[in-house]
Chain A
Amino acid sequence: MTRKHPRLAAGLHSAVQLATGLLLAAGLASAHAADPLKIGFGMSMTGPLAGNGKAALLAMEIWRDDVNAKGGLLGRKVEFVTYDDQTNPSTVPGIYNKLLDIDKVDIIMSGYGTNVIAPAIPIAMQRKMVLMSLFGTDVNAKFKYDGYFQIMPNGADPSLGLVNGFFEIAAAMKPKAQTVALVGADAEYPHAALEGARRSVKNHKMKIVYDKTYPPNTTDCAPIIRAIQATNPDVVFVASYPPDSACIVRAANEVGLKTKQFGGPMIGLGYAALKTQLGPLLNGMTSWELYVPEPTIKFPFIKEFLAKYQPRAATEKLDPLGFYLPPYAYAQMQIVGEAIQKVGSLDQGKIAKYIHANKFSTVVGDVSFAKNGEWAVGRPLYVQYRGIVGNDLEQWKQPGKAVVVWPASLKSGEHRYPYDQNRK
């Protein structure tokens, strides 16, 4: 037949080729659809902030498992590609370049904390990637990147939002606090918090009588507390990381710090290790928290999340309470996941636009973002620790131990002062 009808033969040949091509293309497309959707990030799995980093990673893995159980994102199974940033900012550029160039991840998230978020932003900007970040304080102030988002609920002016509650409490005391001591570690986050504190002190017309920083690896903080005491401040504000939070708290108790209000955004006091180890030494302090089991704090779904998180955290020797970082680590994934699903693609510009334009219902409540990628309306809590007896963990799961004293809308008790009389 082909000899007799060469045109027909050629046509048939072309049709076969076309069909084969289409089949191959369809096969490739279905293979691509079956490829996992890769989400890459560095996380502190060793180093001083590894306790938080690994707890955050567990929360994100719980989200991944939840999403995959429902069929994944865009019909693709979600996979994580993670590296240990060692809580060391200098490792971050290498990690994110590898994630994008070698691992070919589809989405990037940040590691935990200001210090490791800052070096990831220039890479995200260069590659035009959305960067949802986990607990950075005012990191985008200088970059002004519109693909940057941040999940810590401090509001559109984050360094002020983080600390303002503390000084509103101080201003509400009778008589109003007049003098303030500011102290913090020599690192990115405490510097941002101290900057916010200076602005808040000025707004509240108070006077700064001590304003210093200390090296993060300080072993004995008693000389710092004594120097502060010598200035006789009404309020002592501290911005610290976990080991120095413990150092400052113990020194304040040893020296017998006399002031009306003592505390601040001291990282570490929010999770179980330091809560249980410091125990009654925390009594009377006014501290920044993000979730406490008070009757006024009713975030939808957080109890369901903690019910999943706490048993796994206990097995993996991580923060057994999970009040501080894990719910927010889960929430940031909910936001990114919803944006990808609604946009229907991995187009970074469209994802960023969607996150900017919409409100998200998450385990930590409704979240919407301001132009700079921070929460449009902040919601940090200031609590006062009371009635802590011994070093038992269970007491922290009960109401009344971390009483919300700010904001007024979520208050579960009144602020008691002076600090030195409520310390016992």
Chain B
Amino acid sequence: MEVTADLLVNALISGILLAGFYAAVSVGIGIAFGMLDVVNIAHPAFIVLGAYVAYIAHEMLGADPIVTAFVLSPAFFVLGLVIYRIYYYAFERHGQESLRSLAFFFGILFITEVVLILSFGVDYRLVNTSYSSTTWRVGFVDFPLRLVVPFAVSLAMTLGLHFYFTRTFFGRSVLAVAQDPLALQLMGVNPRRVKELAFALSIATAGVAGAFLIVIQPVQPALGRVFIGLVFAITVLGGLGSITGTMVGAAILGIAESFTATFFGPSWSPAVSFGLLLAALAFKPTGLLGR
């Protein structure tokens, strides 16, 4: 296929816009898995839950999904607090957080799916917002607002989290808690409390990512499973414990997917994405920006 400026620039823009969405779905795993060592395999299920909450608000009140997600993010935060407490008292406190906690989060994944199936059925749900069908065209470059709006909000959210984790005392204590909880205790910080709040924050981001999801594509209760591999791949590629790393990982996979689909055939996208992951880990096992 002939490589034209039109195809090249549009592939790049599509990849960057997609990366915004990928960053939003992965940043919560970046916090839970990358910073807290909590293998929250149920994270995508909370994303789907966020999508359904946004759907209900849109159906009942006509509310924009992304506005709904931010309004209801405190509720997701509280949900995160509750789940972490159960996890802590059931597993982490006894030093059994590895295999058993994996089963715990798998359980939460299935329960969330079943609750959604019983409540909403198994049909696909999608929200059509006022901007869903609008595409800005600048020269030969397309900017579909269905992807532009989630990208802009995702960028603001992930940058905000980056500054929060790197510039505040609490943020730094989150970065420290996985490395040396004892040292953190000696400084007068309660590691459990820090992990609890950080985990809750990760679930709150899942709620917001869910709103992006239902704007971008139709959602059904089991859709979360599709994203499990992707979110962990982005987190590992970017480097554990780094929000900017998650953003970089998302950008690499998003752009790689878009370029592969445009120039080589979309069926190669997963192979190229995971090939990049393997190559990056071969040269830098801690991930691109990991410590």
Contact = CB atoms under 8 A, between A and B. Distances in A.
Interface of A: 45-48, 50-51, 53-54, 86, 186, 212-215, 217-220, 222-224, 226-227, 230-231, 242-243, 246-247, 250, 253-256, 268, 272-274, 277, 279-281, 316-319, 391
A316 B124 contact: no
B133 A222 contact: no
Nearest to B258: A223
Contact of B144 (A214, A219, A254, A280): A254
B11 interface: yes
Interface string B266-280: 110110000000000
Given A219-B21, A250-B146, A391-B128, A227 B1 contact: yes
A7 B123 CA distance: 77
A318 B267 contact: no
A51 B123 contact: yes
Contact of B266 (A213, A279, A319, A391): A213
B162 interface: no
Given A214-B269, A223-B261, A254-B135, A50 B222 contact: yes
Contacts of B14: 220, 222-223, 226
Contacts of B15: 223
Given A47-B222, A212-B266, A226-B262, A273 B124 contact: yes
Nearest to A255: B142
B124 A277 contact: yes
Per DSSP, are chain B's interface residues mostly helix, strand or loop, or mixed? helix
B217 to A, nearest CB: 6
Given A50-B220, A220-B14, A273 B125 contact: yes
Contacts of B117: 46, 50
Contacts of A246: 124, 126, 217-218
Contacts of B113: 46
A317 B267 contact: no
Contact of A220 (B124, B147, B222, B259): B147
B121 interface: yes
B120 A219 contact: no
B209 to A, nearest CB: 12
A218 B265 CA distance: 12
Q: Which of A213, A219, A268 has the most CB of B within 10 A?
A: A219
A59 B117 CA distance: 19
Interface in B221-257: 221-223, 226, 257
A215 B266 contact: yes
A322 B270 CA distance: 35
Nearest to B269: A215
Interface stretch (B2-10, B63-71, B187-195): B2-10
Contacts of A272: 123
B128 A220 contact: no
Contacts of A391: 128
Interface residues of B, number: 46
B218 to A, nearest CB: 5
A319 B146 contact: no
Interface string B110-131: 0001000100111111101000
Nearest to A231: B1
Contact of B218 (A186, A212, A215, A277): A277
Nearest to B3: A230
24 contacts: A48-B222, A50-B117, A51-B121, A213-B266, A213-B267, A214-B269, A215-B266, A215-B270, A218-B266, A219-B18, A223-B11, A224-B266, A226-B11, A227-B262, A230-B1, A242-B218, A243-B223, A246-B124, A246-B218, A254-B144, A254-B146, A255-B135, A256-B135, A273-B218
B263 interface: yes
Contact of A46 (B4, B135, B221): B221
Contacts of B266: 212-215, 218, 223-224
B121 A254 contact: no
Nearest to A279: B128
Interface in B1-35: 1-2, 4, 7, 10-11, 14-15, 17-18, 21
B216 interface: yes
Q: Which of A217, A222, A273 has the most CB of B within 10 A?
A: A222
A227 B260 CA distance: 10
B4 to A, nearest CB: 7
Residue from the set B222, B262, B266 with the largest chain A CB neighbour count within 10 Å: B266
B267 A46 contact: no
Contacts of A280: 133
Contacts of B121: 51, 54, 316-318
Given A217-B226, A247-B217, 13 more contacts: A186-B267, A214-B267, A215-B270, A222-B142, A223-B11, A223-B266, A224-B266, A243-B220, A246-B126, A254-B135, A272-B123, A273-B218, A279-B128
